[in-house]
Chain A
Amino acid sequence: MAGSSSWSQALMQISPYTFAAIGIAISIGVSVLGAAWGIYITGSSLIGAAIKAPRITSKNLISVIFCEAVAIYGVIVAIILQTKLESVPASQIYQPESLRAGYAIFASGIIVGFANLVCGLCVGIIGSSCALSDAQNSSLFVKILVIEIFGSALGLFGVIVGIIMSSQATWPAKAV
């Protein structure tokens, strides 16, 4: 394997297991970061607004539930990804097929993690504005909820692509 630069050689010497494991970590960790971020943004506005307008509390919990769904997507994909992580014999660990599988799991994790991060943020900010507007004028709630639904679809896109990506992560068969 004559690498053209030391960097590319170094990169290809990193075990694909590393990439796969980091991908799984990112998928769950960054998704939960996004969900938590969104929940605190919505929650603080919701609590403050509910002092003057207590009727908004039960309806506006939907915003918090949408943010929570983002974390659940991350957990689901992490569980799916970790079932894809198989052992290969030591002689085959640096074969191109192995590397491909490792990179596929890594990429899937990044896709899901970051899509859920921004989705959680988006839903959180909209949820905050939704709570404040609902407190002033209750006819606005349903209309702003539609915006939130579109926002939460972003996380779903990430999950779909992540799962498709990981489904083709096949490690080389045992017998060479």
Chain B
Amino acid sequence: MYGFEAMTFNIHGGYLEAIVRGHRSGLLSAADYNNLCQCETLDDIKMHLSATEYGPYLQNEPSPLHTTTIVEKCTQKLVDEYKHMLCQATEPLSTFLEYITYGHMIDNVVLIVTGTLHERDVQELLEKCHPLGMFDSIATLAVAQNMRELYRLVLVDTPLAPYFSECITSEDLDDINIEIMRNTLYKAYLEDFYKFCQKIGGATAEIMSDLLAFEADRRAVNITINSIGTELTRDDRRKLYSSFGLLYPYGHEELVVCEDIDQVRGVMEKYPPYQAIFAKISYGESQMLDKAFYEEEVKRLCLAFEQQFHYAVFFAYMRLREQEIRNLMWISECVAQNQKSRVHDSVVFIF
């Protein structure tokens, strides 16, 4: 019953919630980011990070450091924490934690299929996959020629199997079809996750509905902007929008007919939460849109920690960590390429 979770949540979830809140206190703060932004070389970055929780992961790296190594080790820390929480969790928390990684699985599947299409080596592609989205038999993806084979050979045994019913065609895989497949899978995944959270009920359902609705709306806007000027028909575009969220269904009707960014802005400004985002970017500029969306997402994720006795803190923590890794990647790239003036273009402070 909503409101009385405090009485029984701690039986199964109390320990893990306390652990995830402890991890959250280890996220880098604005002061850490300021120090990192002032670094001159990647070794300086490594030295600053060794004073934070990333220390044990980076200290054994040999001196000519690459940005990919830094990102890989930081991701490894996230994976270790995730696996530790997953093995301690009971139902329904364990299913919830697994749902968080399906997005990465979808990205990995698309990465390997695209790479195979462009004749890259499978081993090289496997190394680029996100570790949270790995599953057995992922290497077999390189063999498939079209979506039906993809499903039959590999994906029917993975948790992604139920998301495929909407996008099985016999067409051969090419770039456009793969992007459509990615978006269709992600839409099915978001709707499934949403239904699962509704089934859990209580504070988890309320907070996750808000976070997932924002995610669905953000994807709708990105799909619209990316498909302006391509051959994607309006019906196909409409099929890629999720069937929940603030923009459903009237916003989607309006987005479907948009042909340029200013029309998109016109649609979004009718919704107060998104009006604030679009007011930050001036007319005709879409590069800052990503950063504005990330900032809004981080704000909402931090709010999830204000309430106790629900599962959304786990989701929020994973997303905040991923944002932090993105920040570190951007900072490292700027430092490595000597473009320190652009460092603040894309770093989103969490605290």
Q: B15 at the A/B interface (Cβ < 8 Å)?
A: yes
Stretch at the interface among B6-14, B89-97, B99-107, B189-197: B6-14
Do residues A37 and B7 form an inter-chain contact, with CB atoms below 8 A?
Answer: yes
Contact A45 B6 (CB under 8 A): no
Q: Is A40 an interface residue (CB 8 A)?
A: yes
Q: What does the 1/0 interface line of B97-131 toward A look like (CB < 8 Å)?
A: 00000000000000000000000000000000000
- Answer yes or no: B21 CB below 8 A from chain A CBs: yes
Pick the residue among A37, A46, A125, A135 that contacts B21 (CB under 8 A): A135
B16 and A40 within 8 A (CB):
no
- How many chain B residues touch A (Cβ–Cβ < 8 Å)? 16
> B-side interface residues toward A, CB under 8 Å?
6-7, 10-11, 14-19, 21-23, 25-26, 308
> A48–B15 contact, CB under 8 A?
yes
Tell me whether A49 and B308 are in contact in the complex, defined as CB-CB below 8 angstroms, given that A121-B7, A125-B6, A128-B14 are known contacts. Answer: no
- Whether A48 lies near B18 (C-beta < 8 A) is yes
Q: Measured between alpha carbons, how far is A46 from B18 in the docked complex, in Å?
A: 7
Complex formed: what's the CA distance from A52 to B6 in Å? 23
- Binary interface encoding of chain A residues 127-148 relative to chain B, with 1 for a CB under 8 A from any of its CBs, else 0: 0110110011000000000000
Q: Nearest Cβ distance between residue B349 and chain A, in whole angstroms?
A: 18
Query: Does A15 sit within 8 A of B, measured CB to CB?
Result: no
23 contacts between A and B (CB under 8 A): A37-B7, A40-B10, A41-B6, A41-B7, A41-B10, A41-B14, A44-B11, A44-B15, A44-B18, A45-B10, A45-B15, A47-B15, A47-B18, A48-B19, A48-B21, A52-B25, A53-B22, A125-B7, A128-B10, A128-B308, A132-B18, A135-B18, A135-B21
CA distance A135 to B305 in the complex (A): 14
In the complex, A107→B16 CA distance in Å?
41
Distance in angstroms between the alpha carbons of A41 and B6 in the assembled complex: 8
CB of B81, distance to nearest CB on chain A (Å): 11
Q: What is the interface residue range for chain A against chain B?
A: 20 to 34
CA distance A109 to B295 in the complex (A): 56
What's the minimum C-beta distance from A87 to chain B, rounded to whole angstroms?
A: 41
- Is A51 part of the contact surface with B, judged by Cβ < 8 Å? yes
Docked complex Cα distance between A158 and B223 (Å):
62
| Closest chain A CB from B318 CB (angstroms) | 17
Question: Contacts A52-B23, A128-B308, A132-B308 given: A45-B17 contact, CB under 8 Å?
Answer: yes
* Residues from chain A with Cβ under 8 Å of B17 in the complex: 45, 48, 132
Pairwise interchain contact B16-A136, C-beta atoms closer than 8 A: no
